[in-house]
Amino acid sequence: VLSDPSLRDWEGFGLAVQAYQKRALDVIDWVVDAASVHHRRIAVRLVKGAYWDTEIKRAQERGLPDYPVFSRKAMTDLSYMACARKLIAARNRIYPQFATHNALTVAGVIEDAGGLEGYEFQRLHGMGEALYAELLASMPDAACRVYAPVGSHKDLLAYLVRRLLENGANSSFVSIAADPKIPIAEILRRPQTLIGDPVHARHPHIPLPRAIYGADRPNSVGVELGDRTSLSMLLNEVGADPSKVALAAPLINGLVLDGASVSVISPIDGSLVGSVIWGDADSVAAAMSAASEGFRSWSAMSVEARAATLARAGDLIESNRGRLIALLQREGGKTLDDGLAEVREATDFCRYYAAQARRTLLPEAMPGPTGETNMLHYRGRGVFVCISPWNFPLAIFVGQIAAALVAGNTVVAKPAEQTPLIAAEAVRLLFEAGVPANALQLIPGDGRVGALLVEDPRAAGVAFTGSTAVAAEINRRLASKDSAIVPFIAETGGINAMIVDATALPEQVTDDVISSAFRSAGQRCSALRLLCIQEDVADPVLDMIKGAAAELRLGDPRDPSTHIGPVIDREAKERLDNWIAEMKRQGRLLFGGGHCEGLSGTYVSPAIVELDRAADLGQEVFGPVLHVVRWRSAELEELLDEIAVSGFGLTLGIHSRIDSTVEQVVQRLVCGNVYVNRNMIGAVVGTQPFGGNGRSGTGPKAGGPNYLRRFAVEQVVTINTAAAGGNASLLAEGG
């Protein structure tokens, strides 16, 4: 814009710089240079910064190495004055605008500027009136611009509330100055005296993102994909993967079984990713025998030793993220951000279950009468069969195995038939971490192989993530076995609904609907399937959602600019294409459903379908298809009843600014994970334990505090200590 000759004589161009960002001084240098190169004068509005808490939260969620903003208010104030001096020194190219309600900052600017020439102050309409009235009374030549947002009440209410919260915070000058108990000398302390030295520049109670879980475990490392340097480093890691063809095969006691191999084809473009040797009845029997023989030695290891092995596995997964992301992309069709998130989740599973084992699987002393001890022990059950899905072929695969192993079980793992190569790579890393070869067996295969594993009498438990239909079949097979009654830990799908009322923020709803329904090509069990939107606001909100969906880029997931990659295989694509075609035939297609021109893989364009009632969606449509229903304000209970009748209970979204409405929905729908005024995907290990009930799973929740004990048996050992000749501890009490 600066270089456009038609704007050469226009001096209305302005930028805002936030002093709470650590890059603020560099941004000002860049702006000054740009103004000099283009012979322009640019207005720069310097503010302390908005949405500080969001910046902190975002960095923690993403596992960034540090915060992009200062964590102490005094550091932001110090940065503001440093930025102010830069702007004052560049008044030939910059018109400084100092937005502040802090009297000390105002005085500091005037002092550093040597007067009032060549800049202005700014205040928010409705705030700082007394400060600037006093300033203008004593210095009539001072310039103060009053700024205010312009728009309708519904658009600006959230903005105004936010500004009031920030300016009224305990650390705000406005709040401190209004407190008569705080001495003037304290209010006027310079920020550099509050900091003292670099050691105290950080907030003592805000840990780095890596350390938010304290001594239990480190947070998994993420990447800020909006930072060019960080993105380039990650792409180099992914591109450095030396293997273009990989092999998955039955792995028994660490040895690969030979057999006829078949090709593993990428959903991206049909290219060869590697090959797989499928398991059969013989390899299943061999795997169960090997795991049974390995159980005694593995279960005899201490909880600490098993937990340490898991912690090492987490570190190895994290340090091999480039190779793992490359495989997730080629074999699973994952976008870069989805691949990174999955590596982080697998890492977190290992570390979290290691920490939980140290806390929940150690012997517990039980209360009782004097003269005896009662100890509750947790022991492995035996051989656990772990059957994982293709939509999270690394995270769920590793999570199931890690939980079973640390609880003292040996494992026979069957990955999804679409993603055996990722599973084989994960097993290699688990072995490298120290898992013994006889404790973990790998059997690639289809549903018939899974059935053989479940039916084997040596199976002491089954952990399964996948479709509701397959879970029901496994449940029947386990019930029909003439052997021990074993636990079945299942997490399946759901017709996940999001309920939006008329008080919701349309922009936030749009962002959350787009990510919940279409990220990962809609192939998450937690994905939004049914959007229920109040009729009063349905049309404008749906227009916004359709507009946002139209901006999504469908294509090769290895390209960082791609939002939606392929669905997993031809069968899935055909099923989704047929569903969308039927909805179009019925006149229900609101958006999308077009052909994917120029793409040779298994791509499905995002689609939005409108239904008459929530009950009309009787099945889970596993892909980038969003179903919409409208509801009237008087019909909320009826809507909730229709959703409940489905019998699913996995995830639920609520967008409302009315607490009583949120409470009403939460109480009526017993879903495993409820998300209020945010998206419905991306449950974080140890923070949002994940799993449903009813037709959506058995519990306990993966990544939660109750998960590990389901993999263990409980044993109480009672010892009559008085039988040794007397109760010495009681006798020692005396008279």
Query: Span 97-104, mean pLDDT?
Result: 93
End-to-end CA distance of the chain: 92
Q: What is the pLDDT, as a whole number, of residue 11?
A: 83
Which of 525, 610, 620, 671 is catalytic? The answer is 525
What is the bridge-based pairing of β-strands 488-491 and 459-465? parallel
DSSP string across 498-566: EEE-TTS-HHHHHHHHHHHHHGGGG-STT---EEEEEHHHHHHHHHHHHHHHHTPPBS-TTSTT-SB--
Sign of the four-CA dihedral 492, 494, 499, 504: positive
Q: What's the rounded Cα separation, in Å, for the pair 45 and 41?
A: 13
Residue 170, pLDDT above cutoff 60:
no
For 50-68, what is the mean pLDDT? 95
Alpha carbons 67 and 212: distance in angstroms, whole number: 12
Summarised one tens digit per residue, pLDDT across range 523-553 is 999 999 999 999 999 999 999 999 999 999 9
Residue 734, pLDDT > 70, answer no
CB atoms within 10 A of CB 325: 27
Query: Dihedral of CA 293/296/298/299: which sign?
Result: positive
Structure tokens at 446: 């289809």
Section 291-307 average pLDDT? 98
Locate 701 and state its tokens.
Answer: 């929740």
What is the pLDDT averaged over residues 440-463?
A: 97
Number of Cβ within 10 Å of residue 228's Cβ equals 9
Give the pLDDT confidence score for residue 155 in this predicted structure. 73
Q: Alpha helices, DSSP H only, in 96-177?
A: 103-113, 129-138, 153-167, 173-177
Q: Is the pLDDT of residue 172 over 70?
A: no
Kindly tell me if the per-residue pLDDT of 244 is higher than 70: no
Using the predicted structure, report yes or no on whether residue 329 has a pLDDT greater than 60: yes
Span 483-534, pLDDT tens digits:
899 999 999 999 999 999 999 999 999 999 999 999 999 999 999 999 999 9
Considering the candidates 491, 610, 620, 642, report the single residue annotated as catalytic.
491
Q: What is the reported pTM?
A: 0.94
Q: Is 608's pLDDT higher than 80?
A: yes
The overall average pLDDT reported for the chain is: 94
Please state, in angstroms and as integers, the Cα–Cα distance from residue 113 to each residue in 322, 333, 488, 650, following that order: 51, 57, 72, 60
Q: Are 471 and 493 in contact (CB under 8 A)?
A: no
Query: What's the one-letter identity of residue 472?
Result: A
Quote the radius of gyration of the chain (alpha carbons, Å). Answer: 30
pLDDT for residue 614: 97
> Which of 106-110, 114-118, 604-608, 722-726 has the weakest average pLDDT?
722-726
Can you tell me the distance from the alpha carbon of 17 to that of 679, in angstroms, rounded to the nearest whole number?
29
Residue with tokens 């509801």: 631
- Active site (annotated) includes residue 525: yes
Determine the Cα–Cα distance for residues 250 and 260; give it in Å rounded to an integer. Answer: 12
Closest CA to 95 of 45, 147, 23, 145: 45
At 317 the pLDDT is 98
Under 8 Å between Cβ of 313 and 351: no
Task: Give the per-residue pLDDT at 156.
Answer: 77
